[in-house]
Structure 1
Amino acid sequence: MTMFDTVLVANRGEIAVRVIRTLRAMGVRSVAVYSDADADARHVREADTAVRLGPPPAAESYLSVPALIEAARRTGAQAVHPGYGFLAENAGFAAACAEAGLVFIGPPASAISLMGDKIRAKETVKAAGVPVVPGAADPELEAAARELGAPVLLKPSAGGGGKGMRLVRDLSVLEEEIAAARREARSSFGDDTLLVERWIDRPRHIEIQVLADAHGNVVHLGERECSLQRRHQKVVEEAPSVLLTPEIRESMGAAAVEAARSCGYVGAGTVEFIVPGGDPSSYYFMEMNTRLQVEHPVTELVTGVDLVEWQLRVAAGEELSFGQSDVTLDGWAIEARICAEDPARGFLPSGGTVLALNEPAGDGVRTDSGLSQGTEVGSLYDPMLSKVIVHAPTREAALRKLRAALADTVTLGVPTNAGFLRRLLAHPDVVSGELDTGLVEREAENLVPRGVPDEVYAAAAAVRLAELAPEPRDGWTDPFSVPNGWRLGGRPMPLAFPVRVSGLEPTTAQAPEGARVTATDVTVTVDGISHRFHRAGTWLGRDGDSWHVLDHDPVAAALSGARHGGADTLAAPMPGTVTVVKVAVGDEVEAGQSLLVVEAMKMEHVISAPHAGTVTELDVTPGTTVAMDQVLAVVAPREEA
């Protein structure tokens, strides 16, 4: 078989960079594609050539099948790698590639269509002897949910990744949750068909990586534990799982192979199972992802198999060069997903410009990233920025290594979850391996620092003080220009700087003696403990956390404060787009009533009335793009008799 000369990567960000890396190693020319928002993105710069697709909205660029096919034609590409997300599980795109004479590096369109429809997928694998979770689908959705009884899980039939997924514990809000799930499913996948499944309390999420060629060979590459999730989105994954015995691993692996065979699968794919933590032998098929998974690096590190390379080889017609007995698992690998979100603000999506960047590397440490210094992180695309993955002989060593790597991760200018993940990996239940899919949600509040540490303010004051220090002229410094608080006839008075951390109340800060400030870091000693921070502009970072520390001018704030104030004002909690407006000026509303929906990075946030009253101002309509803290509406409180 002949390997491709040129491959178009129909994606962006870290997965595009990762695929390009393997293409380069194989001597295959890479073609990147980009929207106007990504014209200077890292994946564009690292590819051999790049083609503009269109404007920033995904529908007009990364989701435009005609634009992608034309880009492949213009650059002489023979094959297309879809990455994950966007069109990776779109049967129509796979078919369009075939019609254009392009090889789609993934399964046949028929397999994508079958496994992409969760309803048909469950029926197909059930017929193949694979156990499935009890449930039902449209049009019997609501009746089936009430028959199953709370709690139930609503899921979109056309896609995965947690988009449109809703856990309903109170059936009195079932209709509202179904409506919200349909909106998210329609927005993410263009299809609002739903299914409902019985919810298994304290479940574990275990998935099996499979690899199949066009010659009838199918193998599995062991399991990945994906139970650490927020809002049904995985945040940490590992391979192997502490839950499975060799016997259960063999049984689940065989079931995954049968699931792949049942749909005529070819390429790399993942079969996902939900597993009761108390009885891992009672596992149930959830779905099959007919693409490369975000967490594929942990499997690569414990098996030594480059999954992207084998995707290419299988797509080029090669036969697998190894069988099931050749697959062995070596050591432990764990991955943490770095996302543009702010744990201190309830994990709302964040954005901004990457002002300073440090991504860990070294022995047993790998970072898959789409970032570079100067990258603009907006609200149009998925919030995941990078992944930090480690490999070590034991799970304990891997956890320790990943915590250290996350402490070395610096992304100043864009709030991320790196510090939160570092603390999560030190949680006693995580360390002991007592995991379930609800653990992160239960413990999230305890893993987010309360307030801002004193040393952050001390470091900010040290930076301000250093910026005031005069430059020596001809080796002499004017003593009257030194900002040391000197007073005629009195003791020096340390300078106090009014500052505020973005989103919090202002305060005053003083620089401790002996503070050291350079262009890239600052070191301060507080209560006898030395603290070193990375710095960039008005940002400070330490151990994966970051703070945006601004100067505060109380006079200017009073004169030019917000147009409105207090609890009456509803402001955007994140940069994004208003998708739903449920009220108009003059409407009477009740406390807690949902008024607006803001969407960013495929995530919806409902804006509710802070109290009963009247909508006196409404500054947005559906489709309005808003900045963080932008005023959306004002609700004047109702005057009680």
Structure 2
Amino acid sequence: MGTVDAVDEARSTRPFDRVLVANRGEIAVRVIRTLRRLGIRSIAVFSDADAEAPHVRLADESVRIGPAPAAESYLDPARIIAAARETGAEAIHPGYGFLSEHAGFAEACRDAGIVFVGPGVDALEVMGDKIRAKRHVEASGVPTVPGIADPSLDDAALAAAGEAVGFPLLVKPSAGGGGKGMQIARDARELAAALPAARRVAIAAFGDDTLLLERLIERPRHIEVQVLADDFGNVVHLGERECSLQRRHQKVIEEAPSPLLDTETRARIGQAACDAARSVDYRGAGTVEFLVSDAAPDEFFFIEMNTRLQVEHPVTELVTGVDLVEQQLRVAAGQPLAMKQSDIALTGHAIEARVYAESPERGFLPSIGELLVWRAPSGDGVRVDGGIRSGQRITADYDPMLAKVIAYGADRSEALARLDAALADTVVLGVETNLGFLRRLLADPAVQRGDLDTGLIDRMPEPESHAAPPEVLAAAAAFRTAAAIDDARAAGAHAWQAARGWRLGRPMAADADAADPLAAPAVPDAISTDADGAVWLHTPNGIWRVPAADRRGSLDARLAMIERGGLADPELRAPMPGTVTAVLVADGDAVEPGDAVVAIEAMKMEHRVTASVAGIVRLAVAVGEQVSRDQSVARVEPQLAASAVVPTSVPASSDAPHEGAHSTPSHQE
């Protein structure tokens, strides 16, 4: 009888019986974990690229929704609704990105009799348009950044209005978020170039090229406030998150609470966030974003409201003890908030780092390939939100974020130390990542002091590529020797007949170019070989990739030529697989070194391929064309009459950084 009563009680408090998660990767895994804890049956959806993904394996049920491209799977409302109907789901949790802020999708859920775990359609429409949102919250007394928000203005009128506001200006697409399409203009000439560039990205990313202009606040702090609201008029905030560590408007490291705000300012900014939420009759979990002047921390200005769960929500959960996904589900089921503002307290400090498949040494270009080894860190105060597995293929179809590593401590100093140790213990072999960059960022004196602003990362020196030390080369060589001997034994041959370069008593030379063939090998705690024969190692000093001997020699020779300034490749090559989104010159145009020639979108980022020499450009691709890594997209025919500037920068090739990555559509922020 007691068991029956317990089951009945669980059913009475459980928000739903069956929920479909309309997302992938780490956020899908994170939502499913809360569903399982609450006793709710979870339903995953997947594209062909994600058939064996962790979120699919973790869910109670799963439904295929289409091929790998997001437009034909995760971004297709009809396929998601059909999957929910097919499985009898009562509600759909959209995660973040994809359809999470899509008013049309929320309306389609309502029409299908399925609960959308998110705010109402009106709130999505108002807050999804930055111009409309700004006007709306201004009417509620929420302070906003000075600027121009008039969708009727064309480029010429915007330029004139912008000059009246005063430079520097930030050009922003009205639709969308995550920094996609943002441009900075410090004078009239830059504004004239920024407007069409921002419109091009906005129309491609959001289908809407409406722009707004805002006064650029120098050395700003990006601080956002988490809010919860129910159907009964209750609105609370759960403190703020500091999100100032950004690279090209994309958040990299976030923390809660902010080291800048005092108790009085925290209360005022929290109240402003609640006022913004009330102004649209908000329901569920949302985030109100503000700019705070580093010089005047008691002043803050509304930027926008994100009408969904945020990537960085774990830091708020750790300092408040509130499961935000559970609260979303309960509010969506019509339950009132079980907490008042006075019940919420911030305890300790939490910091999150986003781990991306990207190469900081190559201009942060995304990295693809087989994930040979994935091992999450553990320890006191460490939380990892991931949705990857060893053996998984990281493709160019989706955002390059692999996981989030979060650390909690009694204070900020302890949280920083725990996060650094956790990142050192994070093992990702097979694709390049930003792990080393994250650790360098955390060690920056300004970050340690909490002296943050959104331009800090851009002011840091460009990451440099470092050659593997002798002990790492020796470890790679020893691993290759052991593997060759094992292969020989498996084939029935004697080791000395099949393996090259080995000898009794010591490891063989660490490839042909080892600095010290007698160096004692390092002791990696994870090691593997990729399809190209390169050895990947995780050691106490970081993660290393040691190419096969024949490829390493040619690479070192190429790098030596670059350092001497004697290499200027006239072939312009795609840095990775992607789609040509813009051709920025005409065939036969004269170009100078550094001129942008072609824009390529890959892994939701737009990369500009630039000329490495002066001359006449000959195009090899057109807009919309699919290109592979290292494919020639153009060639520059050097001319004696062209500029006499001798290029000393790295050429635009697969081994060289290209002009900065510009955000385009992403299922992340």
**TM-score after normalising by structure 1:** 0.89
Counterpart for residue 503 of structure 1? none
**1:47 is aligned with what amino acid?**
A
Unaligned runs of 5+ in 2: 1-11, 530-534, 559-566, 643-669
1:41 is aligned to: 53
Choose the corresponding residue for 2:610, options 604, 608, 611. 608
Q: Which residue does the alignment assign to 2:44?
A: 32
Q: Does 1:63 align with 2:85?
A: no
Report the 3-state secondary structure (helix = DSSP H, G, I; strand = E; otherwise coil) of the residue aligned with 2:473: helix
Q: Which residue is equivalent to 1:640? A: 641
Once structures 1 and 2 are overlaid, which stretch shifts more, 583-592 or 599-608? 583-592
Q: 1:191 aligns with which of 194, 201, 208?
A: 208
CA deviation string 1:552-588 (max 9, x = no partner): 3389979xx9xxx951111112332222234565554
Distance (whole Å) between structure 1 residues aligned to residue 323 and residue 367 of structure 2: 32
Alignment of 1:398-409 (within 5 A): 398-409=415-426
* Partner of residue 118, structure 1: 130
Q: Once the 2 structures are TM-superposed, how far is the Cα of residue 190 of structure 1 from its aligned partner?
A: 2.2
Aligned pairs for 1:618-629 within 5 A: 618-629=619-630
Unaligned runs of 5+ in 1: 499-506, 516-521, 524-531
Q: How does 1:354-365 map to 2 (within 5 A)?
A: 354-365=371-382
1:125–1:492 Cα change, 3 Å: closer
| Residues 17 and 43 in structure 1, CA contact (< 8 A), matched pair in contact too | yes
Q: Paired residue for 2:480?
A: 464
2: CA distance, partners of 1:555 / 1:347: 22
One-letter identity of the residue aligned with 1:99: D
Partner of 2:537: 540
| Contact in 2 for aligned 1:225/1:240 (Cα 8 Å) | yes
State the shift of 1:60 in Å. 1.1
Structure-1 separation of matches of 2:433 and 2:552:
32
Query: TM-score normalized by structure 2?
Result: 0.85
> Residue 52 in 1 paired to residue 64 in 2?
yes
1:480-629 correspondence runs (5 A): 495=509, 497-498=511-512, 507-515=513-521, 523=523, 532=524, 534-537=526-529, 538-542=535-539, 545-553=542-550, 566-583=568-585, 586-616=588-618, 618-629=619-630
Question: Post-superposition shift, 1:67?
Answer: 0.8
Q: Cα distance, 1:410 vs. partner? A: 1.1
Q: Give the 5 Å matches for 1:95-494.
A: 95-137=107-149, 138=151, 139=153, 140-445=157-462, 448=464, 450-469=466-485
Relative to structure 1, is the Cα distance of residues 554 and 206 closer, same or farther in structure 2, using a 3 angstrom cutoff? closer
Q: Which amino acid is 1:122 matched to? A: K
Answer yes or no: is the 8 Å Cα contact 1:419–1:544 preserved in 2: no
Distance 1:514 1:383 in 2: 36
Using the TM superposition, name which of 19-28 and 145-154 deviates more: 145-154
- What is the identity, as a one-letter code, of the residue corresponding to 1:210? V
Rounded to whole Å, the distance in 1 between the matches of 2:288 and 2:334 is: 23
Q: Helix, strand or coil: the match of 1:305?
A: coil
Letter matched to residue 399 of structure 2:
D
For the residue of structure 2 that corresponds to 1:281, the secondary structure is coil
**SS class of match (1:259):** helix
Name the CA shift for 1:149/1:494 in 2 (closer, same or farther; >3 Å): same
Contact 2:255 2:315 in 1 (8 A): yes
SS at match of 1:226: strand
Q: Deviation at 1:315?
A: 0.3
Check conservation: 2:473, 2:511, Cα contact below 8 A.
no
- Tell me, in whole angstroms, the C-alpha distance in 1 between the residues paired with 2:538 and 2:623: 36
When residues 280 and 315 of structure 1 are mapped into structure 2, their CA distance, relative to the original with a 3 A threshold, is same
Task: Verify: 1:90 aligned to 2:102, yes or no.
Answer: yes
What do residues 125-149 of structure 1 show as CA deviations (whole Å, max 9, x unaligned)?
Answer: 1111111000113314322222233
For 1:605 and 1:38, how far apart are their aligned partners in 2? 25
CA shift for structure 1 position 263:
0.8
CA RMSD of the aligned region, Å?
2.7
Contact 1:409 1:544 in 2 (8 A): no
Q: Is the alpha carbon distance of 1:533 and 1:443 closer, same or farther for their aligned partners in structure 2, counting shifts above 3 Å?
A: farther
Aligned residue number for residue 22 of structure 1:
34
Residues 452 and 172 from structure 1, CA distance in 2 versus in 1: closer, same or farther, beyond 3 angstroms?
Answer: farther
Contact 1:351 1:575 survives alignment (8 Å): no
Distance 1:293 1:169 in 2: 31
* Cα offset, 1:406, TM superposition: 0.2
Aligned-partner Cα distance in 1 for 2:578–2:386: 23
Please list the CA deviations of residues 244-286 of structure 1 after superposition, one character each: whole Å capped at 9, or x if unmatched: 1111101111111101001110000001110001211111111
Distance 1:570 1:479, change over 3 A: closer
Residue 448 of structure 1 and its aligned partner are, at CA, apart by 4.6
Counterpart contact for 2:470–2:514, Cα < 8 Å: no
Q: Is the 8 A contact 2:481 2:502 kept in 1?
A: no
Q: For 2:518, give the aligned amino acid.
A: P
SS for the counterpart of 1:94 is: helix
Q: Secondary structure at the match of 1:497?
A: coil
